[in-house]
Structure 1
Amino acid sequence: MWGTPVRVISLVAQVPQDAALQQTLWVLDAMRDGPSLAPLPAGSRVTLTLLADGTIQGRGPVNNYFGEYTLEGQELVFGMIGATEMAGSPVLMDREARYFSDLHEVRSYAIREGVLTLTDSEGTSLLLYHAEGSPA
C-alpha cells in the first residue's frame, strides 16, 4: 500500500486574456490634455463599443454617440460620428468636443493587460480605456 490517493486538479496558472477590441464595452480612464494624458474626473463615465459590423456606439461626457470605423490589423480609423443633442455644462461640452476630436485622430490601437490605448499617426496616446469588469 502506498497511502491515500491524491488527485491533482491543475498545476497551470490561469493567465488572464486581453479583452477583444470588438464586442467589448470599453470605459475611458484618461484622455489627452495638452501633451499628456489626464484621468477623467471622478463620476465621469465615457464608453466605447466597437461592433463587429463596423459601427461604434458609446456614451460621451454628455451625449450618446454612434458612428463607423475601419479596422485593418492594428490600424483603426473612425469615420463620421453622430450624437444626441443634449446640453451640458460648458466644461462637459468642451470635454465631449475634445473626445470626439481625439476619436477622429486615432490611427491605431493596442490592448495590453486589459487596457486599450488609442494612438494617433505619430504614436501619441490619445485615449486610454479599460474593459468593463477589469480593474480601472
Structure 2
Amino acid sequence: MKPALLLPAVLVAFGLTACGEDEGSQSEPTVAGTTPGTPVPGSTVPGTTTPGTVPPTGSTVPTTGSQPGGPDPTPGIGGQPGYPDPLAGHTFLSTGAAGFTLVDGSTITITFDGTRIGASGGCNQLGSVWLLDGDRLVVEPMWQTEMACAEPLMQQDTWLADLLASSPTFAVDGDVLTLAGDGGTLTLQDQETADPDRPLEGTKWEVDSLISGDTVSSVPAGAGLPTFTFTDGEVGFFNGCNDGGGPYELDGSEITFGDLITTLKACRRDAGSTEGAVMAVLDGTVTFEIEAGRLTLTNGDVGLGLRAAD
C-alpha cells in the first residue's frame, strides 16, 4: 500500500518559515505538521500527525489544516511530464549518505505524491512542489515546521533541506534512489521494500496515540500501554487497565467486533481515561488502514493510532 503524502498545515503564527528565507520574506502559503522528533515534553504542537509520528507524552495535536499552494506541474525534458513512475507515488527511506553522517537510529524520509514532495530528516517536516529537469530534481522553496529536537537531528534537517534545494541529480536503480547535490549524496530505498506493510493478523500492535475529533493525543504517562493482537477471528487486548478479548470479522478495510469481555480491575484516573478511549473505538464496526508499521483504527470521530511492536 503506497502511503499518501501528508503535508501538514500550521500558520506562520505558529513559527513556520520558508527554508532559505528570513522572516521578512515569508510568503503567505503555510504548511505545518508533526514529524518524528523529540519535542519538549508536555508541549502542545499545532499540525497534523502522520503515519509513524507519535505526539510527545501528554500533548494534544490538532489534525486538520490547509496545505501550501504551489505551481501546477510543468513538463520535464522532451515534453514529458516531470513526475515519472520511478518517483511519483513512492516514499523512500534513507539507507546511507556520503559527505554527511546520518544520526544513529534516525531515518530520512522523502515522499513524492503528484506535484507535492514531503521530507523529514527525523525532526521537522519539509514540504513543497517538485519537477524533474533532465537528471535533476528541482524543488521549489520549501516550508518546514519548527519543532525543537535534539541538535543532531536539527542539523540533519538542515542538511536535507540544503540538499533538496540544490537541485540534486537523481538516479533510480530498481528500488534504490540516489540524490547527489550540495553537501553530499543520499541513498534511499523504496519504503515498500525497506519497511513493508505489516499484516493485521499475527502482529502485536501497541497503541501510542488516541484520536478524538480533530485532535491526536499521546497515551497518558500514568496509563499502561494498550496492546492488540488479532488472530483467526479472535482479538486479545490490554486497554490500558484491563485485559480483554472477543470475536471479530474482517470485511475489506472494516473490522466488526462482536461481544467483548474484559477483566474488572479498578483503574487509576489516567488508566481509566485510556481504557474508556480504547473501548469507545471497539464498539461495533471500525475501519482500519495499515501503512508500513502503522495501524489506524477509526470509528466515527474517535480512533486509535498503533505501531507494530517488532
**Shorter-chain TM-score above 0.5:** yes
Question: Could you tell me which residue of structure 1 aligns to residue 267 of structure 2?
Answer: 88
Q: 2:226 aligns with which of 46, 69, 93?
A: 46
- 1:1-136 superposed matches below 5 A: 13=189, 14-42=193-221, 44-52=224-232, 54-104=233-283, 106-121=285-300, 124=301, 126-133=303-310
Counterparts of 2:244 and 2:270, CA distance in 1:
18
Counterparts of 2:259 and 2:297, CA distance in 1:
17
Q: Which amino acid aligns with 1:129?
A: L
Contact 2:212 2:302 in 1 (8 A): no
| 1:106 Cα offset (Å) | 4.5
Question: Could you tell me which residue of structure 2 aligns to residue 8 of structure 1?
Answer: none
| 1:116 Cα offset (Å) | 0.2
Residues 23-74 of structure 1 show CA distances to partners (whole Å, capped at 9, x for unaligned) of: 110000111245422111246310011112x110011111111111110111
Report sequence identity in percent: 27
Gaps of 5+ in 1: 1-10
Counterparts of 1:131 and 1:104, CA distance in 2:
22
Counterparts of 2:302 and 2:278, CA distance in 1:
13
Counterparts of 1:82 and 1:56, CA distance in 2:
11
Q: Which protein is richer in strand relative to its size? A: 1
Q: Which moved more, 1:97-106 or 1:62-71?
A: 97-106
TM-score, normalised relative to structure 1: 0.77
Matched residue count: 120
Contact 2:205 2:229 in 1 (8 A): yes
Counterparts of 1:27 and 1:91, CA distance in 2:
17
TM-score, normalised relative to structure 2: 0.36
Whose Rg is larger? 2
Counterparts of 2:245 and 2:261, CA distance in 1:
5
Counterparts of 1:17 and 1:106, CA distance in 2:
26
Contact 1:29 1:130 in 2 (8 A): yes
The 3 A distance-change label for structure 1 pair 94 and 38 is same
Q: Which amino acid aligns with 1:28?
A: V
Counterparts of 1:15 and 1:90, CA distance in 2:
40
Gaps of 5+ in 2: 1-173, 176-188
